[in-house]
Chain A
Amino acid sequence: MSGRSWQRLATDLAALAFAALWALPVAGLLVTSLSRDGQAVDRGWWRAFTTQEVHMPAQRLRGVARMQDGQFVTEGDLFAAAGGQVLRWGTSSRAPAVHLPDTLADLPGAARLTVAPDGHWRLSAPAPVSGPGPRVFVTARVPPAFTLQNFRQVIWQPLVGPGIGRAALNSAIVAIPATVIPLLLAALAAHALVFMAVPFRALLGAAVAGLMAVPLQVALVPLLQLHNHLGIGKGFVGVWLAHGGFGLPLAILVLRSAMARLPAEVIDAARVDGAGDWQILTRIVLPMIFPTVAGLAAFQFLWTWNDLLVALVFLGSGPDQQVLTASLLNRMGTHGGQWHLLAAAAIVSMVVPLAVFALLQRHLIRGLAATALR
């Protein structure tokens, strides 16, 4: 190989490593969210693709006993549909791996238990088993198993609390008006600043730019008081207005500079034809700067959908108002080791922004330089 192609190869490898480093954490989340019974949680997600030797959590043996040769016999399967191979087993946490498969173990009450390699167990006793049933500890080789069950569970059938479906709806209720309102107001204001007779135009523009310096944190207390005073309290209206206000300076600046680059003749011609400013804005100006508007809208949507602070402060914490990010935050605190469910919830929260991103990425990238100012 020549020096040039070595360079090529090195560039490709460096880029591949870079991309892998960026994608790996997400891959981990995805694998975890798809693994059955939280397999990935016990092994580490990168081991979820191969058969692994695992110590399964203790299982209580339950079942309906039937009479056979004067004995009460109960049978069942240790593995669900996933399958597996029993290596060792035991009935006490102090000796969880004393027995080989297919050997008989004596239990209290003259009961005898055996576990087959395929996970089939058989308990026979001279009298019906009373109490919760014996516990079994199993060391097994478990093949990889993937499922969509985790998603079904977090969206529709949560064990505690509301499903994440409602939170997704709340996020949409927040994000859509919170995108439309500032864009509409910014379009009007930018149009006035560029094409209409406004006194102190330059000063107004500078003031709007200066307002970008106001961090959200500065406005929290006064705005909460204002909302209480106005009777809005905590709710969607307050969030729309807050997102609207905070998205406005950037939207005005970006739209103004896009409008200022339009060819003047078009606007002049429309004016001569007797078009009003509203018509000029909606029929001529906005269609001509559509890429900028689309990029800005996508950005504002991502920002409001992914926001946590505004939602925490201006929305109630009940299920009727909790958005995806807040719900996810809650789950992080209470997931209790159920990583597969937390991962599924996190994936659900990313679907909409990633779709918006994929659909509008061309506009987004073009508008990025402008919107990086956030």
Chain B
Amino acid sequence: MSGPRPDARVGGGLAARWQALLFLAPGMGLLAVYLVWPVLVTAWFSVSQPGPNGQVFVGLRHYARLLADPEFRVALANTLLWLILPPVVTTALGLGAAVLSLRLVWGAAFRLVILAPMAVSAVGAAVIWKLVYEVRPAGRQQTGILNTLWLQFEGGPASWALLQGLPAAGLMGLAVVVLQQAGRGACAGRLWRAVGAAVAGLALAVAAKAWILVDLPYGQPQAWLQIPFVNTVCLMAILVWGHVGLAMVILLAALRSIPAETIEAARLDGATPWQVLVHVQLPQIRSTLLMVWAAQALIALKVFDIVLALTNGQWQSGVLAHHIHARIFVALDRGAGSAAAMVLMALVLPLLLVQRREVRRAGGAE
């Protein structure tokens, strides 16, 4: 993002100043009333409650009440999950789609198909996917694609290998790669990166082991949206479906801005396409990748419509944005609702900082 022009180009004088004020005032006024003032009011509401003579300061009581509420804790935990999983998957798939589309003859058509869900509202997407997750009682013909596919797996060794062995092996492979990165980071003296990668790698390994051992209910149609955690994954899939296009387009612009000579040089040195991607292209678009991830995390943080439309926060699928709405407008609990809103804002802020920094670094992206 480039800054404003130096003053030389700007008209001066008192009249000009008044005119500038006239141009600025409506926008700044709307911002002050609709963004700045509400934040202050909500911050005050989160530490006060109505008394006989107006609002009375009550300290952190609302926050304490929130923390003691199991529903809020579930929503917060889910929100943290939303913060990690969908952005990572969306960014990875967006990168994959961008790289694929560059090698296709029909790349433009491909991009259009991936991008189109962006125009669909979250409620519309919820309807589309509700049809996918639809369940009928056992014995009747299933009308949801997911249950129809699910019932193809009768529970024999082939089912196990395809649905449990294969994904677990993939996860384990990913864990090994990430742990290698941790080792490399430790050798290079980058402690934080090493610790982060080690934790992520171990988490992946644990997940892989758990997935192998889990006892899946083969042969039974499942009400996907009513199983805790599974329903959260189902809802996340909708967000990913809607936003891969966005990630793809931004990453594509970044990939295209890499000078062709750089890639050609690597190719002449005998690098395979995969090596070119990992060692030449990815390091060049690192900033853009981070920016896309942060943008997706900001979107995931504010997920509301999808949850409201499909589960309304039941079956432990609640998230923060939905919890705030329910607190304020269903439970009519303004104090705790305001406190939860402040928690949401506290989560948004660091992500926004990362994103702005990467936008500036990526340069010209804005």
Tell me which residues across on chain A come within 8 A of B148, comparing CB atoms: 44
Given A260-B5, A372-B292, A26 contacting B35 (CB threshold 8 A): no
Bound form: Cα–Cα A205–B366 in Å: 15
Tell me which residues across on chain B come within 8 A of A329, comparing CB atoms: 123, 308-309
User: For residues 268 through 290 of chain A, which have their beta carbon under 8 Å from a beta carbon of chain B?
Assistant: 268, 271, 277
Interface string of A338-374 (1 = CB under 8 A from B): 0100110010011001101100010001001110111
Q: How large is the interface on A (under 10, 10 to 19, 20 to 34, 35 or more residues)?
A: 35 or more
Tell me which residues across on chain B come within 8 A of A350, comparing CB atoms: 119-121, 124
Interface SS majority for chain B: helix
Given A185-B27, A219-B38, A246-B34, A328 contacting B127 (CB threshold 8 A): yes
Tell me which residues across on chain A come within 8 A of B129, comparing CB atoms: 25
Contact pick for A277, options B23, B42, B130, B366, CB 8 Å:
B23
Contact pick for A189, options B24, B110, B304, CB 8 Å:
B24
A198 touches B131 (CB 8 A): no
Counting chain B CB atoms within 10 Å of each CB, which of A242, A244, A372 scores highest?
A372
Residue of A nearest to B42 (CB): A218
Bound form: Cα–Cα A195–B124 in Å: 42
- Comparing B58-66, B70-78, B261-269, B352-360, the segment that makes contact with chain A is B352-360
User: For residues 134 through 152 of chain A, which have their beta carbon under 8 Å from a beta carbon of chain B?
Assistant: none
User: For residues 276 through 323 of chain B, which have their beta carbon under 8 Å from a beta carbon of chain A?
Assistant: 291-292, 295, 298-299, 301-302, 304-305, 308-309, 321
Tell me which residues across on chain A come within 8 A of B244, comparing CB atoms: 22
A343 touches B341 (CB 8 A): no
Bound form: Cα–Cα A65–B291 in Å: 75
Tell me which residues across on chain B come within 8 A of A216, comparing CB atoms: 302
Residue of B nearest to A209 (CB): B356
Given A18-B100, A194-B4, A219-B38, A213 contacting B27 (CB threshold 8 A): no
Report if A85 contacts B (CB, 8 A).
no
Tell me which residues across on chain B come within 8 A of A268, comparing CB atoms: 9
Q: How large is the interface on B (under 10, 10 to 19, 20 to 34, 35 or more residues)?
A: 35 or more
- Comparing A73-81, A86-94, A95-103, A221-229, the segment that makes contact with chain B is A221-229
Tell me which residues across on chain B come within 8 A of A328, comparing CB atoms: 121, 123-124, 127
A12 touches B104 (CB 8 A): yes
Tell me which residues across on chain A come within 8 A of B130, comparing CB atoms: 332
A257 touches B328 (CB 8 A): no
Contact pick for A194, options B5, B26, B117, CB 8 Å:
B5
- Comparing A107-115, A116-124, A247-255, the segment that makes contact with chain B is A247-255
Tell me which residues across on chain B come within 8 A of A41, comparing CB atoms: 143
Report if B158 contacts A (CB, 8 A).
no
Bound form: Cα–Cα A370–B124 in Å: 25
Tell me which residues across on chain B come within 8 A of A169, comparing CB atoms: none
Q: For residue A363, give the distance in angstroms from its CB to the closest CB of chain B.
A: 12
Bound form: Cα–Cα A202–B6 in Å: 11
Given A32-B131, A189-B27, A271-B11, A306 contacting B41 (CB threshold 8 A): no
Q: For residue B235, give the distance in angstroms from its CB to the closest CB of chain A.
A: 14
Tell me which residues across on chain B come within 8 A of A222, comparing CB atoms: 37-38, 41-42, 45
Tell me which residues across on chain B come within 8 A of A213, comparing CB atoms: 345, 348-349, 352
Bound form: Cα–Cα A225–B166 in Å: 55
Contact pick for B16, options A43, A196, A264, CB 8 Å:
A196
Residue of A nearest to B338 (CB): A221
Q: For residue B269, give the distance in angstroms from its CB to the closest CB of chain A.
A: 19
A241 touches B4 (CB 8 A): no
Given A14-B100, A18-B97, A193 contacting B4 (CB threshold 8 A): yes
Residue of B nearest to A267 (CB): B9
User: For residues 173 through 229 of chain A, which have their beta carbon under 8 Å from a beta carbon of chain B?
Assistant: 185-186, 188-189, 191-199, 201-202, 204-205, 208-209, 211-223, 225-226
B2 touches A257 (CB 8 A): yes
A219 touches B34 (CB 8 A): yes
User: For residues 56 through 70 of chain A, which have their beta carbon under 8 Å from a beta carbon of chain B?
Assistant: none
The 3 A-B residue pairs with the shortest CB-CB distance, nearest first, are A245-B34, A306-B121, A189-B27
Give me 25 A-to-B residue pairs in the complex whose CB atoms sit less than 8 angstroms apart, sorted by A's number.
A8-B103, A22-B114, A22-B241, A25-B145, A26-B117, A28-B132, A29-B131, A46-B145, A188-B23, A189-B23, A189-B24, A195-B9, A204-B28, A220-B324, A242-B34, A245-B33, A260-B3, A277-B19, A277-B23, A307-B121, A324-B121, A325-B305, A332-B123, A342-B127, A357-B118
